[in-house]
Amino acid sequence: MDFHDSASRPTQQAPAAYFTGTVWLDPIVTAPAPARLVVARVTFEPGARTAWHTHPLGQTLYVVAGVGRIQSEGGPVREIRAGDTVWIPPGEKHWHGAAPTHGMSHIAMQEALDGTTADWLEQVSDADYTRAVGK
């Protein structure tokens, strides 16, 4: 058993190379091999978001608070709220983050393939981010 009390892993600011705006990361678990599970709570301040990215083995998001947005490449911008669960299949290019005027926190769950949980791509443009929900 590997136990971590709540004060043992401090909140970290997410790297600007992969996020726009202020984003906070709270690690939950990085399971040792042969397990591949990596889980974190990610908190986005209003207007903050990820860059476009993919996951080699997919990703599940569970929204715990606030209002956010998510989009797969070529698809509509969708609103996500506390209690929503989103599965993103392996290799699907997407982004997610807070709504422009609301913060949002989600639990991000993904598996590592050869030590990689995400392949980071270009930043999401303001035009893509501010597109009307459903468009």
Residues 57-84 pLDDT 10s: 999 999 999 999 999 999 999 999 999 9
pTM of the model: 0.94
Residue 17 resides in a domain: yes
Beta bridge partners of 106: 42, 63
Q: How many domains does the chain have?
A: 1
Residue 38 resides in a domain: yes
pLDDT at residue number 97: 98
Residue 132 resides in a domain: no
More confident residue, 34 or 55: 55
Residue 1 resides in a domain: no
pLDDT at residue number 88: 98
> Strand, helix or coil at 129?
helix
Residues 82-135 pLDDT 10s: 999 999 999 999 999 999 999 999 999 999 999 999 999 999 999 999 999 998
Residue 86's domain is classified under what CATH number?
A: 2.60.120.10
> What is the Cα Rg of the chain in Å?
14
pLDDT at residue number 83: 98
Residue 76 resides in a domain: yes
Of the candidates 103, 33, 94, 98, which has an alpha carbon nearest to the alpha carbon of residue 60?
94
Residue 69 resides in a domain: yes
- Lowest-confidence region among 28-32, 37-41, 77-81: 28-32
pLDDT at residue number 130: 94
Q: Tell me what the mean pLDDT of segment 25-50 comes to.
A: 95
Q: Which residues of 76-94 are buried (b: 16+ CB within 10 A; e: fewer)?
A: ebeebeeebebebeeeebb
Residue 64 resides in a domain: yes
* Number of neighbouring beta carbons within 10 Å of residue 48: 22
pLDDT band at 5 (very low <50, low <70, confident <90, very high): confident
Give the phi and the psi of residue 42 in degrees, each rounded to 5. -120, 125
Residue 84 and residue 12: Cα distance in Å, rounded? 24
Residue 133 resides in a domain: no
- Domain extent, residue 92, equals 12-119
